[in-house]
């Protein structure tokens, strides 16, 4: 009925949505959307290095993104610059370095559009393995650090005082962010990954009154976005990333109607 590549893309996309759902909630709660962007921008450098040294793309992106996150933490300690300035500095300089390196790699034909916006044709069986095992691992670790991470998101000092070690949870979460970007870059593209994290979570916020519900709705929203996005991508021959994000946006707009209704009900 469908071509193999499309089945692969579906399986990959659904796997990614399962992971970006809960992680995206934390991105929204902890106000990390620009941080996610920075890691995604640095992913381009990771991809170019993967091509240069014939490494696995996900692994290379994961290493570079983690490295950028570490540099960010160090810069935050050592300088007096505000966080968003540091993020901008790292995002754009790593993007620039990545683009310059691409310029040197004349012997490789790059699909820049695919890299920026995702390409469902590019998903291989190996990628599926990486997405699903990597994704399962990410979710498992997130479950393990859920308590300290969530507690410190609500209030850092409470978590620290009551012995939950929030600094460790935060460091691990940073690595999880790098990992989720690494596994989803081929599908969603590096310009739109943050959207995949934030938009379903934002939609879920409009519908939920407890953290668990928000995570659940965020996952459902992500899965629906992937389904709607990929089918329309196939139908209209559009890039996979933008199609998925547009589907997520449509769901978000629908969730706004829910807010209006509940306000009407209250009045």
Partner 1 sequence: MSLENSTLVKLNNAGFKQNNKWLVEGVSLTVEKGKIVTLIGPNGSGKSTTAKIALGIYKNIEGSVEKYTNKVGYVPQKISIDWTLPLRVHDFMLLTENIRDEAIDEALNLTGVIHLKNKNLGNLSGGEFQRVLIARAISKKPELLVLDEPVQGVDYTGEIALYELIKRISDTLNCGILLISHDLHTVMTATYHVVCLNGHVCCSGTPMDVAKNNEYKTLFGEQASQILSVYEHKHDHVHSDKGEIKKN
- Alpha-carbon torsion 149, 153, 159, 165, what sign? positive
Give yes or no for residue 169 binding partner 1 (CB under 8 A). no
Site for partner 1 in 83-102 (CB under 8 A): none
203 vs 213: CA distance, rounded Å: 12
Q: Outline where the chain has alpha helix (H).
A: 4-29, 33-53, 57-78, 83-104, 112-117, 125-154, 156-161, 166-188, 193-207, 211-236, 240-266
Q: Least Å distance between CB 30 and partner 1? A: 9
Number of residues binding to partner 1, judged by CB under 8 A: 25
Neighbour-count burial of 265, counting CB atoms closer than 10 A to its CB (0-12 exposed, 13-18 middle, 19+ buried):
exposed
Q: Closest distance between partner 1 and the C-beta of residue 148, in Å?
A: 8
Query: Nearer Cβ to partner 1, position 59 or 73?
Result: 73
Whose Cβ is closer to partner 1: residue 9's or residue 214's? 214
- x/- contact string, 199-218, with partner 1 (CB under 8 A)? ------x--xxxxxxx----
- Report angle CA 135, 195, 121 to the nearest 5 degrees: 65
Which residues, in sequence order, are CB contacts of 254 under 8 Å at separation 6+?
203
- Is residue 31 a contact point for partner 1 (CB under 8 A)? yes
| Positive/negative CA dihedral, 136, 137, 143, 149 | negative
For partner 1, the closer CB: 208 or 238: 208
Nearer residue to partner 1 within complex by CB, 43 or 201: 201
Piece of 85-93, 146-154, 230-238, 255-263 that binds partner 1 (CB under 8 A)? 146-154
- CA 245/CA 204 separation, integer angstroms: 15
Which residue's CB is nearer to partner 1, number 209 or number 235? 209
Q: Which stretch binds partner 1 (CB under 8 A): 116-124, 131-139, 156-164, 188-196?
A: 156-164
List residues near partner 1 by CB under 8 A: 28-29, 31, 147, 150-151, 153-155, 157-164, 205, 208-214
């Amino acid at each position: 009925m469908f071509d193999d590549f499309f089945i692969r893309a579906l399986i990959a996309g659904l796997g990614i949505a399962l992971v970006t759902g809960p992680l995206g909630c934390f991105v929204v709660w902890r106000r990390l959307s620009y941080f996610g962007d920075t890691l995604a921008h640095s992913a381009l450098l990771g991809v170019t290095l993967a091509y240069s040294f014939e490494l696995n793309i996900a692994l290379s992106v994961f290493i570079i993104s983690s490295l950028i996150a570490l540099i960010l933490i160090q810069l935050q300690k050592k300088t007096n610059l505000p966080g968003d300035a540091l993020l901008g500095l790292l995002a754009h300089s790593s993007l620039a370095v990545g683009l310059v390196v691409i310029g040197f790699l004349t012997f490789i034909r790059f699909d820049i559009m695919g890299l920026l916006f995702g390409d469902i044709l590019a998903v291989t069986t190996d990628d599926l393995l990486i997405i699903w095992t990597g994704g399962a691992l990410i979710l498992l670790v997130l479950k393990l650090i859920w308590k300290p991470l969530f507690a410190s998101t609500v209030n850092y000092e409470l978590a620290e005082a009551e012995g939950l070690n929030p600094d460790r949870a935060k460091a691990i979460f940073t690595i999880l962010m790098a990992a989720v970007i690494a596994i989803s870059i081929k599908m969603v593209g590096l310009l739109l990954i943050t959207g995949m994290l934030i938009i379903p979570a934002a939609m879920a916020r409009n519908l939920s009154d407890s953290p668990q519900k928000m995570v659940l709705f965020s996952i459902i929203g992500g899965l629906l976005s992937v389904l709607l996005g990929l089918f329309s991508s196939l139908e209209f021959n559009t890039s996979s990333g933008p199609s998925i994000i547009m589907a997520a946006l449509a769901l978000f707009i629908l969730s706004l109607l829910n807010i209006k209704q509940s306000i009407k009900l209250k009045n």
